[in-house]
């Protein structure tokens, strides 16, 4: 049902939201890979001797993952839509995986543009820009459909959460902790 819901939302069907569960079990299941994968990566990096980098990277990822449901909850209270927050947060957690097919389509689109004569760099930049716009639209649509909001209200949530998540992601560098995103493999 998750894949069907993601696909229906990707096509712009508001009813795709009904494919997702709106309880704590479904929410926890949507959080598991978003926490488990960075935790496993952090353990690999820590075992390679960069435990401080591993811990900081994991904590930044954990903070950004947990920020979105918290923001959805608070905004749902603000707009009087509390009963829909858990399902919407679940959908947004699962929507992270939409990036995989979107990257594939963007790469294919970029290759077609390059074959048609557009420079490779320009084709890649155009494809990446369109991919970013689509992913933003997807989140906007999921918020609007999930909470039953107008697009401007969903846009406000999207804007605030995007800025906050970017701030959390950049915070280590702003405080001189210099989170190095390269893996310390030999």
Per-residue pLDDT reduced to its tens digit, 50-74: 888 888 889 999 999 999 999 999 9
Per-residue pLDDT reduced to its tens digit, 26-47: 999 999 999 999 999 999 988 9
Q: Is 36 left (phi over 0), alpha (psi -120 to 50) or beta?
A: alpha
- pLDDT of 127 above 80: yes
Rounded to whole angstroms, how far apart are CA atoms 61 and 55?
10
Mean pLDDT of the chain: 90
Predicted pLDDT of residue 120: 87
**Cα separation values, 9 from 45, 61, 145, 166, Å:** 36, 25, 9, 25
Q: Which of 182, 169, 167 lies closest to 50 in space, CA to CA?
A: 182
- pLDDT of 181 above 60: no
Contacts of 103 (CB under 8 A, 6+ apart): 131
The whole-number average pLDDT for the span 84-112 is: 94
Listed in sequence order, the DSSP H helices in 48-185 are 51-78, 85-94, 99-115, 120-147, 151-174
Q: Let me know: does 93 contact 34? Beta carbons within 8 Å.
A: yes
Predicted pLDDT of residue 183: 52
């Amino acid at each position: 049902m998750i894949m069907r819901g993601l696909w229906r939302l990707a096509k712009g069907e508001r009813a795709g939201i009904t494919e997702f569960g709106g309880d704590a079990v479904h929410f926890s299941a949507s959080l598991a890979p978003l926490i488990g994968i960075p935790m496993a990566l952090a353990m690999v990096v820590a075992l390679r001797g960069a435990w401080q980098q591993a811990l900081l990277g994991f904590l930044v990822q954990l903070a950004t993952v947990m920020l979105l449901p918290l923001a959805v909850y608070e905004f749902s209270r603000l707009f009087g839509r509390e009963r829909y927050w858990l399902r919407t947060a679940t959908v947004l957690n699962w929507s992270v995986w939409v990036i995989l097919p979107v990257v594939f389509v963007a790469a294919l689109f970029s290759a077609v543009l390059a074959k048609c004569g557009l420079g490779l760099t320009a084709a890649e930049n155009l494809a990446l820009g369109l991919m970013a716009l689509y992913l933003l639209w997807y989140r906007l649509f999921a918020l609007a459909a999930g909470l039953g909001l107008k697009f401007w209200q969903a846009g406000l949530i999207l804007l605030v959460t995007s800025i906050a998540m970017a701030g959390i992601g950049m915070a280590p560098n702003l405080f001189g902790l210099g989170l190095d995103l390269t893996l310390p493999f030999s």
